[in-house]
Amino acid sequence: MGVYSTLWEADDWATRGGLEKINWSKSPFYAYYKDFDIEGCAMPGPANCASNPSNWWEGPAYQQLSPVQARQYRWVRMNHMIYDYCTDKSRNPVPPPECRAGI
């Protein structure tokens, strides 16, 4: 497992209209994580993982989106998502396992 993060290219929307100046001479930029702990399972998901009842996120309310939540999620994806690596056939000729969840 790993953690991946990105730095945006400093367009106006990401810099409060250019108020935040980026000093590119300081690159490369680094991010450090401290006291980071994550639990995870390999896809396709919970069936492959040992359950831990003390994890709130494993409760029934978090196993599936309600119809209203699914509609809201689709709306956000259609109106705000810029890039979807699941549909990027040039980088992923075979979609990664997590993309097959059908969300």
User: Which DSSP string do the residues of 12-75 spell out, in sequence order?
Assistant: GGGTTTTTS---GGGPSP-----S-------TT-GGGS---TT-GGGSGGGSS--HHHHHHHHH
Q: 33 and 2 in contact (C-beta within 8 Å)?
A: no
Mean pLDDT for the chain? 77
Q: What is the pLDDT of residue 42?
A: 67
Where does 15-82 have alpha helices with state H? 67-80
Q: Is the pLDDT of residue 2 over 60?
A: no
Residues of the chain with pLDDT > 90, as a percent, come to 8
16 pLDDT tier (thresholds 50, 70, 90): confident
Q: 30 and 23 in contact (C-beta within 8 Å)?
A: no
Q: What is the pLDDT of residues 29-64, one digit of tens each?
A: 777 778 877 766 766 666 667 677 787 877 888 778
